[in-house]
Structure 1
Amino acid sequence: MGRVAVLVMEMQRGVVGDLTKFPDLVEACARRDVIANAALVLRAARRAEIPVIHCTAAFRPDRAGSHTANCPFIVALLKDPEHMLEGTGAVEVLPELRETGDLENRRHHGFSPFTGTSLDMTLRSLGVSSVVALGVSLNLGIPGLALEAVNLGYRVTVVTDAVAGIPDDYARAVLKHTVSLLATRATAAGLVEAWR
């Protein structure tokens, strides 16, 4: 079946941590224990020698390499010239989810960790054919990750209690009506048990 890797989507200080501009998303993560469940999965993956790749987003101060006017959400975010700037604390992975041996895949545009990055080549160089996705959000990032991974030939599993979106009823609908068409769904506890 090939090797598995865990893709951690935008679990960054400026997205769901202490420097966030998205309090509703932080609250959704807290209600669902997303960070704690993500940490469980990542510890189990590392014990099983499964690669962990943090898929992060950032902008350069001059916005070079980023499409900034083609998406209403990005236009709104970038009214703040300091939003998610490269080299600031906001783009750092949450410390409780990061370990030295982890990899990072940084992007400067779009909502998927695959387009315009080296993620596909990194996964193929590691012999990966299946990915486990967790993080945020079910509004954009997780569906984008799953769709592009499937298009590239990977099998995808989404950790249902280590993802969040807003509002809650919409997030549940995405898991049921979109993610279920693209990916296997699993819980953090189920993966921990499978990787023992």
Structure 2
Amino acid sequence: MERTAVLVMEMQRGVVGDVTRFPELVAVCDKRRVVANAAEVLRGARSAGVPVIHCTAAFRADRAGSHTRNSPFLAHLLKDPAHMLEGTAAVEVLPELWEPGDLESRRHHGFSPFTGTSLDMTLRSLDVTRVVAVGVSLNLGIQGLAIEAVNLGYRVTVVTDAVAGIPDDYAQAVLDHTIGLLATRVTAARVWEAGR
């Protein structure tokens, strides 16, 4: 029997919320109603007893445990010593998506949620065989999530109206030409029709 969990990728205040450094990503999320659609998916999950796991990113002030020079994007972001620091508002999950009982898997390096975290063990301890992905971004995080999950043997579903990336036309191409090779694609309104 298939058991599902929802993985919420980087829906944090410092990424797509009120203290973001990515206003273009917030604008695309607003245009596509990504937060509202993700909330709909999470309501359905919780009412069905499906675990919700927030995959978050944060950095220590001293950057210990984080590779900071192996990616041009990370090197640029981390020039700001306050970027996504542990214990700050920026690393908090958007309040409209968090509920007591949700789980969190935090990482301090890289772009995807499995490598170097306990996410795989958490999913296996819950007997999960299928993951449903919502969040950001299609540029890096959602792609990495899908690839790693498939490599680890999970079936993957990506909720097409609860994910985003920039620029928007590129993100849509990723959904069509990359995610479509890795995952089932459904809308928030139909995700739970695909089974639990």
TM-score by length of 2: 0.98
Q: Could you say which residue in structure 2 is the equivalent of 1:111?
A: 111
Q: Could you say which residue in structure 2 is the equivalent of 1:151?
A: 151
Q: Could you say which residue in structure 1 is the equivalent of 2:19?
A: 19
Q: CA–CA distance in 1 between the matches of 2:192 and 2:17?
A: 24
TM-superposed CA distance for 1:2, in Å, is: 2.2
TM-superposed CA distance for 1:18, in Å, is: 0.2
Contact 1:40/1:192 (8 A) holds in 2: no
Taking the TM superposition and a 5 Å limit, the aligned residue runs for 1:1-196 are 1-193=1-193
Query: Would the alpha carbon gap of residues 195 and 36 (structure 1) be closer, same or farther in structure 2, given more than 3 Å must change?
Result: farther
**1:31-78 deviation digits (Å, cap 9, x = unpaired):** 100000000000000000000000000000000000000000000000
Q: CA RMSD in A?
A: 1.1
Q: CA–CA distance in 1 between the matches of 2:30 and 2:193?
A: 23
Count of aligned positions? 196
SS state of the match for residue 30, structure 2?
Answer: helix
TM-superposed CA distance for 1:104, in Å, is: 0.1
SS state of the match for residue 5, structure 2?
Answer: strand
Q: CA–CA distance in 2 between the matches of 1:16 and 1:189?
A: 22
**1:92-151 deviation digits (Å, cap 9, x = unpaired):** 000000000000000000011000000000000000000000100000000000000000
After TM superposition, which residue ranges in structure 1, 4 or more long, deviate above 6 angstroms? none
Q: Give structure 2 stretches of 5+ with no counterpart.
A: none
Query: Would the alpha carbon gap of residues 193 and 183 (structure 1) be closer, same or farther in structure 2, given more than 3 Å must change?
Result: closer
Letter in 2 for 1:137: S
Letter in 1 for 2:135: G
TM-superposed CA distance for 1:193, in Å, is: 4.9
Contact 1:11/1:56 (8 A) holds in 2: yes
SS state of the match for residue 73, structure 1?
Answer: helix
Contact 1:44/1:195 (8 A) holds in 2: no
Q: CA–CA distance in 2 between the matches of 1:11 and 1:160?
A: 15
TM-score by length of 1: 0.98
Q: CA–CA distance in 2 between the matches of 1:52 and 1:38?
A: 11
